[in-house]
A and B are shown apart, each in its own frame.
Chain A
C-alpha cells in the first residue's frame, strides 16, 4: 500500500459519533436546540436531538431567528445551542454581530461545514464558503473550535460553559458528517 492510499485508509477509520456530541450537548446544560436542518448534521445529530425528550427542539424558518431566541432564553438562564449550516451562519452575520458580539450575549452555534474535506483544515478547503468561516470568526472575535473526530467532542462542554460564564459567543464547527448513534 502506498503512502497516499494508507493515508486515505487512515482517514476512513476516523469517525465522529453523533451520540457523543449529543451527550456533550446535554452535559453542557443545554435545554433548547434551535435549528434549521443541515445535511451535514441531519441524520447523525438533528434526528437524535428531535427524538430526545431531554431537549426541546425549536425548528425555525431562518437561522437569524435562533440568535434572538437564544438571547431571550439566556436572560432567564436557559441554555441553548444553535444547530445550523455554514450558509445559515453567513446569512445571520448581522444578528451575530449585534446580539452576540456587540451586546456580548452567550450565543452558542454548532455549524455544519457542508463540503468540507475532513483531511484538510477548513481554511484550505476547496469550497470558498467553508474557507472563509474561520477567518470571519477571527475577524469578529468569535471563539471557534473544529469538531472533526470523536477526540474533538471533549471541546464542546468547556466551550459552551465558557460562553455562558463569560457571556460571549462560540462557534463549534462540525467538519465531518457525524455517524448516527
Chain B
C-alpha cells in the first residue's frame, strides 16, 4: 500500500509539458505538490475526469494527457473506460487512486473496495494496464508507463491521506481555466 502524496511526488519528477487532469482529492494533493498552468481540474460533476481527459486527448494528440482519477469518481463513469478504449487515444494515461473510499465525502467506503479497476480497464480494451501497490515498483516503472502508447491505465493502491483542505472554488476558478486555455493556444 502506498501514499498518494508519495506517488505524486514521484510522478511530478516525470511531468514536463503534459496536461495533468485531476479530480477531487487527487486534485487537491496534486495542486499542493505541483501547481502549474497545465493542471486541469475536474470538479463539480463527479465522475467526469476521464471524459474531460478524452476530450483533451482527442483535441491535442501532440500532447500527453495524464488523468488522476479517484475510485469513487471512476465508479460513477465506468462506461468511460469503454468509450476511451474505443476512441483509442495514444496520448492518454489514466491513473486511478484506489483507497476504497469516498475520501472527499466523509471517507465512506465505495460499494466494493475489492473492485479490480485494472481488470475492468483491460476488459474494456485499454492498450496497456498496470497495477501498483509498492512505491518502489511505481518509482521504477512510472517513466515507462508515461511513455507507452495508450490508452494506458494504472491503478495506484493507496492509503487514505492526511486530512485535506478542499477549496473547490480555487481549483476551478475561471482564471485557471483561462490560463490553461491560453497556454494550450500558445503551444499549438
Q: Show the binding face of A for B, using Cβ within 8 Å.
A: 32, 56, 58-62, 64-78, 80, 94-95, 97-99, 102-104
Contact = CB atoms under 8 A, between A and B. Distances in A.
Nearest to A59: B86
B107 interface: no
A104 B77 CA distance: 22
Contacts of B16: none
27 contacts: A32-B58, A58-B83, A59-B86, A60-B51, A60-B79, A60-B83, A62-B79, A64-B45, A64-B77, A65-B83, A68-B50, A68-B52, A69-B51, A71-B55, A72-B21, A72-B52, A72-B54, A72-B59, A73-B56, A74-B55, A75-B177, A76-B56, A76-B59, A77-B59, A77-B188, A99-B48, A104-B174
Contact of B77 (A65, A71, A74): A65
Interface of B: 21, 40, 42, 44-45, 47-60, 77, 79-80, 82-83, 86-87, 172, 174, 177, 180-181, 184-185, 188
Contacts of A56: 58
Contacts of A97: 45
B44 A103 contact: yes
Contacts of B40: 72, 75
A62 B60 contact: no
A61 B184 contact: no
Nearest to B77: A65
Nearest to A60: B83
Q: Decide if the interface of chain A is mainly helix, strand, loop or mixed.
A: helix
A72 B49 CA distance: 10
A54 to B, nearest CB: 15
Q: Decide if the interface of chain B is mainly helix, strand, loop or mixed.
A: helix
Contacts of A70: 55
Given A76-B56, A76-B60, A62 B48 contact: no
A61 B58 CA distance: 17
Contacts of B55: 68-75, 78, 80
Minimum-distance CB pairs A-B, first 4: A72-B55, A61-B79, A68-B51, A98-B44
B92 to A, nearest CB: 10
Given A61-B82, A68-B52, A69-B54, A94 B184 contact: no
A113 to B, nearest CB: 24
Given A60-B51, A65-B77, A76-B188, 7 more contacts: A58-B54, A60-B80, A68-B51, A68-B80, A72-B40, A75-B180, A103-B44
A103 B184 CA distance: 18
A9 B181 CA distance: 52
B48 A67 contact: yes
Interface centre among A59, A76, A97 (most CB of B within 10 A): A76
A163 B22 CA distance: 26
Contacts of B86: 59
A56 B21 CA distance: 23
Contacts of B49: 68
A108 to B, nearest CB: 13
Nearest to B173: A103
